[in-house]
Amino acid sequence: MLTPGLLLVDKPAGMTSHDVVAKVRKLAGTRKVGHAGTLDPMATGLLVLGLESATKLLTFIVGADKTYEATIRLGSATVTDDREGDVLSQATSEELAKVSDSDILKEIATLRGDIQQVPSQVSAIKVDGERAYAKVRAGEEVQLKARAVNIAQFQVIGAIRHSHNAIDLDVVIDCSSGTYIRALARDLGAALGVGGHLTELRRTRVGGFKVVDALELSNAQPNYLPLIPAIDAASGCLPVLEIAESDGLALRQGKRIKGHVDSPTAVTCGAVLVGVVESAGENSLKSLVIFSDEVPSV
């Protein structure tokens, strides 16, 4: 029987997140595989997968903050806000020549902190029951509402590269869940009056999980995957509370136990992950998730 756990995968370019899930299902010999947030086919980097009952942890990872490394090209805007879309506008060499490094850094500064961001039109957000990207590909215009996101870091790495038809810059971005890096490139280009889009995107961190610890699929072996055990995975994304085995049994039976936590918390009995709980009153805890196959009886 496959031990439940998380698998960190370094997604290659050209694959969808669903492609990665399908491949891992075959490698692991199980259908119970899910992921904690998609990456576009163009993008590379960290994809957090859950296998077997550890898929229950993914809901607590999806909302974690993330780090991306990207290359932004100023000078043209595209339908998809990345290199794969049709070009909507192209700045002239004269217009680009007027954009200085200090102009770019000044506009980047306005995109840090708590901002209102309109998602990319080709996002997976549903509009009238249909994904926005499907409507755009069908030729429809989509108007999405701005949403609050936090950009903790938006910094240029290395030199800004100027040419007669484009300005390229490498950046690192720390952001809240729900941020569209493509939209940051779009908005930076729009603010500078020359248009902008992404040419490269790599996710390097999701919460406490990092791409340096991820598996490259080309190195994956059938029935041998470097899973993070569920109990270790839970402690990597949630506070942890040790409870008595009698309380573990009570939670398994759908009962509440005494205690208080400030946020969703993993509860353990020794080396066993019982579940995830939240406060349900002044001194009461209720379960959000139970790992019933791992809770010992008393």
CATH code, 115: 3.30.2350.10
SS (H, E, C) 53-94: HHHHHHHHCCCCCEEEEEEEEECEEECCCECCCCEEEECCHH
The number of folded domains in the chain is: 3
- Residue 95 sits in the same domain as residue 140: yes
Q: Residue 218 — φ and ψ, nearest 5°?
A: -65, -20
133 within some domain? yes
pLDDT the model gives residue 129: 66
Based on the fold, state whether residues 160 and 215 are members of the same structural domain. Answer: no
Does one domain contain both 53 and 167? no
184 in the same domain as 57: no
Domain-located, residue 260: yes
Structure tokens belonging to residue 223: 């029935």
Same domain flag for 88 and 30: no
Q: Give domain status of residue 221, yes or no.
A: yes
At residue 219, the pLDDT reads 82
Is 297 inside a domain boundary? no
Residues 92 and 199 in one domain: yes
Rounding to the nearest 10 degrees, give the CA dihedral for residues 115, 121, 125, 131. 180
Residue 183 domain flag:
yes
**Token couple for 134:** 């499907």
Residue 295 counted as domain residue: no
Same domain? 44 vs 166: no
> For residue 296, what pLDDT is reported?
43
CATH code for the domain in which residue 268 is found: 2.30.130.10
Q: For residues 86 and 189, state if they share a domain.
A: yes
Report the alpha-carbon distance of residue 45 to residue 68 in Å, rounded.
Answer: 9
14 and 27 together in one domain:
yes
pLDDT for res 194: 97
d(CA 68, CA 40): 13
pLDDT in tens, the chain (298 residues): 577 899 999 999 999 999 999 999 998 888 999 999 888 889 999 999 999 989 999 999 999 999 999 999 999 999 889 998 889 999 999 999 999 999 999 999 999 999 999 988 766 676 666 676 666 666 667 777 899 999 999 999 999 999 999 999 999 999 999 999 999 999 999 999 999 999 999 999 999 999 999 999 888 887 788 999 989 999 888 999 999 999 999 999 889 999 999 999 999 998 889 999 999 988 899 999 998 655 444 3
Indicate if 178 and 72 belong to the same structural domain.
yes
Residue 42 belongs to some domain of the structure: yes
**Residues assigned a catalytic role:** 40
| 200 and 254 both lie in a single domain | no
Q: Are 112 and 137 contacting, i.e. CB atoms less than 8 angstroms apart? A: no
**Which residue range is the domain that position 26 belongs to?**
5-64+207-230
Is 143 found in the same domain as 112?
A: yes
Whether residue 144 lies inside any domain: the answer is yes
